Structures are given as structure tokens and as C-alpha cells.
Structure 1
């Protein structure tokens, strides 16, 4: 029996080179990988073993000496003046009309095309009333353009837009990522002041798709249930999420702002719904909690935790991901994220009456369940609907 030493040496060289390449990759990525793994281990340990966020009330509370000015007005929260406002959107100051849903769309000043697509599709109030029999009020929450050079031109365009549609709510703060919490406060304060009778309040990004018929059906089912429209905060829930400490990340939160290893549970800010009583609780929380946490959905979680409110997960509320395009998904879809350019096409497909006929009956249900399993239960598929949604 003869051995080919040249082949052995060649194999050994290949193995050595491969091993060296893998080690180099591990060394390059280890710091980020180690930080990611360790931070999640700490956060889950804190969330599920310690599971106490009592520090939030004391650490984020506005100190009493700063709560009131000389005239007795609350100065813990900066009250930015309104540049565009519609106090009568829900029927006048103090409320008038019976509103099923007050829907805030968080939009940037220059995103006119996104707002127009929403008005023409899922945010069309006339469609909600005529086709669904639901009184839905849709408004767009805005700040001012951050670029000083473009600000006046954009503002003139916004005023013209609002003259046509009467649905913009704008305050005098810079519309930037780090002011998203300010925009969240705007929503809950405006709702408390001008639309307190709304049974539900929804907050959504302007690149989200909302299947309005399915959402209205869901809300009406809640109203007819035993719990009714109380204690509801529903969306795509993040549990035990750790703060991101990498300075290069958009979501970087330094230790001096939030030193603890885990955030309280919160829903993805892309789209969530709260009942009227929860909206009132969040409003009161924003009056006494420091809004220095600039990640708005995390601040929402802090406010809710301080008020004793817990989020409820719903398998058809999307997180940061986009839902698959398929009629068997549309039949149950409530929100999907990442639709900056295809809202009109998706609306046409998702609300086609044929969608509902296809999934009806035993065979239709069986077919759609199989399709959803193939679409939603793939490895590494995340940030939108979970595998559990396939069987719902």
C-alpha cells in the first residue's frame, strides 16, 4: 500500500489556510460578537430573573423643584408651540364625535409622497366610514425641517398641503431621530387635549402599511369582548431587549443615560395600538417622567411600566421587517413595515375581495396554513410575523 505524500501535504495546507482564515475572521468580529452575546445574556437574566424596574420611577421622574414654574404651570415637559393644528378634527375641543380610532402617522416634513399614498389607501377616512362604517381620524405628526437652508421652502409646501387636506399636526421642534420622543409626546398630548373620546389610539410610521379592514374588525372584536377597550397596548413586543452600547449604532444609548442591562418590555414603534384609558395613562406619565430617552418606543415602555401597563403581543403586528407578499398573509395582516414606495400596489392586492374567498372553507384554510408555514417558519426569518402566525 502506497501513500501519496504530496496529496497529504496539499490537504494539510488547505486545512491550515482554512483554519487561519476562520481564526482571523473570529478575531476581527469577536469584540462585536462578544458584546452582542454578553449584552443579551445580561438583559435576559435581568428581565426574567430579577424582573424589577422599580428604579424607573425614581430615576426618570422629574424632580419636584423643577415640576412647576412661578405661574404653577408644569415645566417638566417642554410645550412646543403648534405651527399647524386642527383642534376640531375629532369634533371640537373636548371631543364631540364618537371616534373608534385616532391614528397618528409619524412623518418627516419632506415625505409628501408617503403621506399622499397613505391618504389614498389605508389612511383614507372616507373609505373607513363608507366601506367599514368606522369613524377613523388620521393625522400626521411633524416637526420642522432640520436643514435651516431648506426649512422655509419646506414649511411653505407644508402649509399648502395642509390647506388641501387639513390633517397635519406640527410643533416647533426639529424633526430628527433624536426628537422622536418629542413627537411621541406630541401625539399623546394632542389626543388628550383634542380627541379624548377616541376608543383607541394608534401610532404608526409613514413607511408602514396598515390593513385597515382587518384592524377595524380586530378593534370591534375587542369592544365586544369581556375586557372591552380597557388596558390594551398591543403590537410587536420586544422583551428583555438590551441597550445598544456601540457608539457607531444609530440606536446607541450611553450608560449615563440608561445604565441598566435591560429595557422594560415595549412594542416596536413602527405600529402599535393603545386603548383610550392607556393613552390617558401614558399622557400623565409624560408629565412626570424625564424624556431624555430619545428612542421613542423605549420611552413608551418606560412610561407604560411606570403606570403599570404591560404590552400584549399580536402575531400580525410587524416589527422592523416587511411581511411576505401573499394573499394567505393578507387575510390576517394588520401591519407591515418598510413600505415607502409600494403602498398603493399592496393596498390594491391586500383588499381584493378574492383574498378572502381563497382562504375560506376547509381546503382553503389548509392551503393557506401550509403557505404560511413555508413563508413564516423559515430559519432566521424575523422582525415581522412569527411562525406562530402560520397557525392563527
Structure 2
């Protein structure tokens, strides 16, 4: 048999080069691969098999183990720069008003236009009162501007804004990503001190859209049940999410800060609702746990876990995505994320649909089912809501 040694040599070179290329690709892609595959497998295994978190001792304020890498202290140490302690008091000034929902919107100091758009649309207290027949109190949770050079000018503008609208709640902490947990604590502390009678508390970003008629009806339906809406924490639930260990990520959390391979279940911080009893329990948890975990929705999950609370999934609370613009979506929509500039147009469209929409009938409902399947269930299509939401 004749053997071509030159051909064998070439094949070996090709194999060597191919192997080297694959190793290089693996080395380059290992960190994201580890996060998206290996860490998720490890996270799910821990979350559903071990499920042992010791937050009360590891993050206890009394333990002396303050793991915070921030200069700032706890929210209770921050004085109010702008406050409205009588916002939830009745007109007689002596009793609590009946508030269905305390709506706290997390906003950055410079986001004047976003706040105004919310006041003009889904956050309009007078619209909710006159059209929906319930009381909602809107408040914006903010800190001070992060740029020292611009801080004075922005603060003056904030005081003028609040003088007109009376809905800013500001404490003297620097308004940055790593202080979002402080902003979360502000909301639960303020509710406990100044609006404890509110049946529900909603925490929302200033770039989400809330379909207020749908939300109000959902909350009223909950109140009409025998349980009276107890132990409610509802939103877009993240289950078994792993901490991001990549140092170049905005959401990087080192092992020294959070040693477990999985976060407890939590709702996306874009928008979620808790009942009054849950808000009181979260407030108590913030007194027990230090706030070194700077990712606010994860810290919320830690507080809830420490209090024995679990989140409830609602398919029409959004996570990170924006809902499709379509009347068949508006029928069920609660929140949609990513609306920094189009809140007013979406409000006009959604509310116009609500006013003119009558009973669809069998064919109309079948049409909407088909539309929702096309919008929410296409392969490789990123949506705000899951495919299951199409069949509700």
C-alpha cells in the first residue's frame, strides 16, 4: 500500500490548527459561557436542592460585619431634603385617607421630563380618582445629583418642581446605581412612617408604562377576595438567577459580598406591587439587614426571604422588555418597560382603546388570541411577556 506522508503531515497540521483555534475561542468565550451556562446550572441546583440562605446572620446589622464597600451609611441616617409627611392624610388633617395604592417612582434628579410625562398620564391622581373611583398617591423617590458641579443648579430646579407638584421625596444621598438599595429603603421607610394605611405599595422605574385601569381593577379584585390581599408580592419573577461575577459588568457582585451561587427569587425592579402587610414586613427586614447588597431588586428578594415571603408571577408585569403596541395587548397589560420618550403616545392609544372597546364576541376574542400568539410566541423573538400570556 502506498502512503502519502506529505498528506498525513498536512492533515496533522490542520488538526493542530483547528484544535488551537477551538481552544482560543473557548478561552475567549469562557467567562460569558460560564455565566450563562455553568453558573445558571450551579445556581438552579443550589436554589432548588439546597435553598439555604443565612441572610439574617451574614447581613445582620447587629453582627458588626458591615460588608458595604460604599462610603454612604444606611437610609435612616439620611435627612430629608424634600418631604411631604401629610400626603396620605385626609382633608380634615386628623385622620388617614383611604389610599388604595401608594405609587413610588424611582427617578434620577435630572429626569424632569420623565416625571412630568408620568404626572400627565398614568400617574395622574385626579384621573384615577375621577375615572376609576379610587385614591392613588404618587411620589418620586430621588437622591441628590451625582455631579457636584451641577448639584446646586439641579437642586434649585427640583425645589421649583416640587413647589408646583408637591410629589418629590428626596433624601441626602448621592443618586447613583450603587445607591439604589438606599432608594428602595427610602420607599418602605416612608410608607411605614407617613402612609401605613395604603392597601398596596408599588415601586416602579421612571421609564415604565403602567396601564392604570387594568392595575386598579386587578387590585380591587384582590381586595374583594376572602384573604383581602394578604402576603402579596407580584411582578415579573426571576427564579434561580446567579450572581454576575464578571468584573467588567455593571451588575458585578464579588464573592465577599454575596457568597451563595444563587439569588433568592425576586421580582424585576422595573415595577412590582406588594400588599400593605408585606410592605410592613419588608420595612422590618430593612431594620435587620445591612444594605451592602447594592442591587435593589436582589436586596428586596433577600428581605422577603428573611421574612418568609415569596413573589407571585403575573404574566403582564414586564421585566426588561417593551410590550408590543397593539389593542389586543392593552386588554391585559399592567406594566411595560423602556418608555423613556413614548409614554404620552402609548397612554393616548391604550386609553382610547379602553374607552371604545366593547365586547369583542367569539370571533374578536379568537382574533386577539391569534394576534397575541404571533406577537408573544414567535421563536427567537424577545418580548416583554411570555408566550403563556397569549392564552390568558
| TM-score (normalised: structure 2) | 0.89
8 Å contact 2:75–2:182 — kept in the other structure?
no
Cα distance in 1 for residues equivalent to 2:19 and 2:352: 55
TM-superposed CA distance for 1:355, in Å, is 7.3
8 Å contact 1:95–1:196 — kept in the other structure?
no
Aligned length: 371
Task: Verify: 1:241 aligned to 2:241, yes or no.
Answer: yes
Superposition pairs of residues 224-263 of structure 1, within 5 angstroms: 224-263=224-263
8 Å contact 1:236–1:313 — kept in the other structure?
yes
The secondary structure found in structure 2 opposite 1:219 is helix
The secondary structure found in structure 2 opposite 1:173 is strand
Superposition pairs of residues 168-317 of structure 1, within 5 angstroms: 168-317=168-317
TM-superposed CA distance for 1:379, in Å, is 2.2
TM-superposed CA distance for 1:360, in Å, is 2.1
The ranges of structure 1 where at least 4 consecutive aligned residues each deviate by more than 4 angstroms after the TM superposition are 16-27, 64-67, 92-95
TM-superposed CA distance for 1:320, in Å, is 0.8
TM-superposed CA distance for 1:65, in Å, is 6.9
Unaligned runs of 5+ in 2: 1-15, 67-72
Superposition pairs of residues 1-392 of structure 1, within 5 angstroms: 25-53=25-53, 55-63=54-62, 78-91=76-89, 96-353=96-353, 357=357, 360-382=360-382, 384-392=384-392
Cα distance in 2 for residues equivalent to 1:49 and 1:356: 50
TM-superposed CA distance for 1:24, in Å, is 5.8
Superimposed CA distance per residue, residues 161-183 of structure 1 (whole angstroms, 9 cap, x where no aligned partner)? 00000000000000000000000
TM-superposed CA distance for 1:94, in Å, is 8.8
TM-superposed CA distance for 1:52, in Å, is 2.4
8 Å contact 2:322–2:337 — kept in the other structure?
yes
TM-superposed CA distance for 1:357, in Å, is 2.5
Change in Cα spacing, 1:301 to 1:295, as seen in structure 2 (3 Å) is same
- Across the aligned residues of Structure 1 and Structure 2, the Cα RMSD in angstroms comes to 2.5
Decide which moves more: 346-355 or 367-376: 346-355
Superimposed CA distance per residue, residues 358-389 of structure 1 (whole angstroms, 9 cap, x where no aligned partner)? 77211111111111111111223446211110
8 Å contact 2:31–2:246 — kept in the other structure?
no
TM-superposed CA distance for 1:325, in Å, is 1.0
TM-superposed CA distance for 1:28, in Å, is 2.8
